[in-house]
Copies of this chain bind each other. A is one copy, B any other.
Amino acid sequence: MTLDEYVREQQRIVDAALDRWIPTESTPPEIIFRAMRYSVFAGGKRIRPLLCIASAQSISDLPRGVENVACALEMIHTYSLIHDDLPALDNDDLRRGRPTCHKAFGEAIAILAGDALLTLAFEVLSKAPEVDSCRRVRLVQELAAAAGAAGGMIAGQVHDLEGERQRPSASLLERIHRAKTGALLRASVRFGAIYAGADDQQLAAITSYGEHVGLAFQIVDDILDVERSSEELGKTAGKDAQQHKITFPAVYGIERSKAMAEEERLRAHTALRHFDDRADRLRELADLVVHRRA
């Protein structure tokens, strides 16, 4: 199977699981589930679930049911996009080529749809089939830390808001990235490893892989925001510069940023050096993250 076929197959599996976990649009109160589904099924690339599943597969041949916990990662990612797009935060009208959730459903429903996805993510973990209570609890702890205000995504968002009023610097950039995007990407691969029963050494290696891939992902994201059009990205391009966001190109320039992404890609490969060929999909995903065009 080519990587492209593998990615599409896993996306189908993840989408089917998301469809099972999120109540249908005819469940009352209908509008909230319409809004949740609108944002979840908007053509996202499912990078976090893919990393989670490939990570589980690098540890165990058949990590049955891992797509369920992978769904929780996508729900958290989607909730964070919905809230970040709100007028009080990034005030963005376009996401994945469509009006943002608050543009389509109004601010009140967008706030509540985000809250609902955040809540549902924890519900999914607490009910994940094929896995014992002890592991479910560990996943809840992982997700809460990655999503939370102490070094997690919420901290990243706050630093980002504050960063708009500060001079760009390498240390501020690193702090923002580590919390805002890094924490959930790192948690994504840790999710898969914990789910599949990784030992401490394996988990440490996978975590290092996740940190390097996460950093590469953010650098590439920042580069794409400069180089590609809104149409190609499916979201408003050039917003970073417009909003004076601190980005890798702003701090290091485009060429140095590209070299850094490549370095991080190689470091991700190095982190997996003791893994056998079951980690090949994970290796390919590191390449995909750096070489993507949108």
Contact = CB atoms under 8 A, between A and B. Distances in A.
B149 A127 contact: no
Interface in A46-104: 79, 83, 86, 88-89
Contacts of A114: 115
Interface stretch (A11-19, A31-39, A201-209, A273-281): A31-39
B149 A112 contact: yes
Nearest to A127: B141
A31 B158 CA distance: 8
A126 B116 contact: no
A83 B28 contact: no
Contacts of A127: 141
Given A27-B150, A33-B149, A119-B148, A111 B109 contact: no
Interface size band for A: 35 or more
Interface string A104-131: 0011110111111011101101110000
A144 interface: yes
Interface in A7-27: 23, 27
B126 A147 contact: no
Contacts of A136: 133, 137, 140
A149 B121 CA distance: 12
B31 A116 contact: no
Interface string A133-156: 110110011011101111010110
A123 B137 contact: no
Nearest to A23: B150
Nearest to A29: B158
A243 to B, nearest CB: 13
